[in-house]
Amino acid sequence: MDARSHPITTAAEEETTDTLLLWVLVWSELAAFGILLIGFLVGGLIQPDPFAATRLHLDPLLAGINTLVLLTSGWQAALATRPQASLGQRRRALVNAALFGMRRLCFASAC
């Protein structure tokens, strides 16, 4: 093998690849949640009585707290990716993200 078979990538090429992968992830998440929401809406239109009965079992406060915990965990993970953040700040943000993620599991399983 010679040097031509393994081209050296530049920082700009790596950033472009990273950005593309990020957008693929974002769009795949949007597609998945979009399909689930559409399915939920169609299910509610097709069978309104069972959907109304199951809504009585939902706790809006718990759902709101769970959403805030999830958003905070994502925010902490995003803080860890800042280029200007020091290693200590990145570690702290990732530990916070993990703790909020574990707390979210506790809310979901009522521990």
Q: Answer whether residue 3 is part of any domain.
A: no
Q: Is 69 exposed, middle or buried (0-12, 13-18, 19+ CB in 10 A)?
A: buried
3-class SS string, 53-83:
HHHCCCCHHHHHHHHHHHHHHHHHHHHHCCC
The pTM assigned to this predicted structure is 0.57
Per the structure, how many domains does the chain have?
2
Q: Which token pair is 52?
A: 């109304």
pLDDT tens for each residue of 7-29? 666 666 666 777 788 788 889 99
Q: Which domain holds residue 88?
A: 59-111
Could you tell me if 65 and 89 lie in one domain? Answer: yes
**pLDDT tens readout for residues 50-104:** 988 988 888 889 888 888 988 998 899 989 888 898 999 999 999 999 988 887 6
